[in-house]
Amino acid sequence: MSKPSAPYTPVLQTCSFIAASDLFRGLDALWSFFAESDPPFSWGSNNRTLISSCDLVSYLDSCVLDEPAEALFDTLADRVNALSTDVYVDLEN
């Protein structure tokens, strides 16, 4: 006869994130460039898709941005630099 197992106690995880719609507020041309650039991040039909804010800036910094997006990049970088490095960006919202 098997011994009864201990009750299951889940380990809950938490993290901090900012909605992409908030981070990119007023930066429509940069968001459009990002969304259409075939980034190495996937999203769509998910509840949350979290990426590190540093990875987001690194990706955009490595792109050849079109002129409207390039003019907005420094604003986005400043916003991200004001965040803690452990804050994620939620691409779904």
Average pLDDT over residues 85-91: 92
The predicted model scores a pTM of 0.81
- Where in the chain are the domains? 16-90
Q: What are phi and psi of 67, to 5 degrees?
A: -55, -45
Element holding 17 (H helix, E strand): strand 16-19
Tokens representing 64 are 């050849």
Taking the C-alpha atoms of residue 18 and residue 57, their distance in angstroms, rounded to an integer, is 14
Q: In a 3-state reduction of DSSP, which class is residue 14? A: coil
Longest dimension (CA), the chain: 72
DSSP 66: -
pLDDT digits (tens, 9 = 90+) for 19-65: 999 999 999 999 999 999 988 887 777 788 899 999 999 999 898 88
